[in-house]
Amino acid sequence: MIREFGWVDVLYLVFAMRWTLALTATAFIGGGLIGLVIAVLRVSRVWPLQAIAVLYVQAIQGTPLLVLLFVFFFGLSIVGLPVLPWIAAALAFSIYAGAFLGEIWRGALDAIPKTQWEAGSALGLGFGEQLRHVIMPQAIRMAIPPTVGFLVQLIKNTSLAATIGFVELTREGQLTTASTFQPFAVYLTVAFLYFLTCFPLTQWSRHLERRSYGPA
């Protein structure tokens, strides 16, 4: 059943991108929620909570994503969940993204001068109110460029989900290669599709970074 790598295959690859993007979106939302908690724990003034956040980030950032994927993939059956690549990938990538986003956002929160917290507390605002009304609105501006930068990493790294059989762009490329035997053309096309998705984001992130802090 060997056939030529043609436009139809390119179209299939383009369609497979929706799973790349779906996994990215899922991981970004899941990781965003985890990251928010991690960042807030880090700036909380309760050291056991800080320690939990530090351990989480260190452990996840010190483990290859591939290992996380496999641990979750094979761990699913142990906790009684169906062994589906989609579930394993969504969990592993959320947990991975949570560590990196948490660290990025903590950096942004830390970059706000201590005196801003203090001014809030001198006005009688509680920790949550200071965070919500004083610190976060300022930190968000700073956090956006590196967050977009990480989004690029996330998109690229979803390619690893191919290794547990999740059919996204890279896996579709492997399947196409198997039926056309034209790996060079196929993988170059795959790379190009990733580039088309990532490059604009990279540029946007750079643009945001250069933008100065003006009135809202």
Question: Applying CB under 8 A, which residues contact another protein?
Answer: 59, 61-68, 70-71, 74-75, 78-80, 115-116, 118-119, 121-126, 129, 133-134, 137-138, 141, 152, 156-157, 159-160, 162-163, 170, 173-174, 177, 182-184, 186-188, 190-191, 194-195, 198-199, 202, 213, 215-216
Nearer to another protein, 72 or 86 (CB): 72
CA 92/CA 60 separation, integer angstroms: 10
Cα–Cα nearest to 24, from 152, 208, 200: 152
* Smaller CB separation from another protein, 33 or 198: 198
- Nearest approach, Cβ of 8 to another protein (angstroms)? 20
Cβ of residue 123: shortest distance to another protein, in angstroms? 4
Residue among 33 and 183 whose Cβ is closer to another protein: 183
How does DSSP assign 98-160, residue by residue?
Answer: HHHHHHHHHHHHHHS-HHHHHHHHHTT--HHHIIIIIIHHHHHHHHHHHHHHHHHHHHHHGGG
- Token match 């933008």: residue? 211
CB of 188 to another protein, least distance (A): 6
SS (H, E, C) 192-204: HHHHHHHHHHHHH
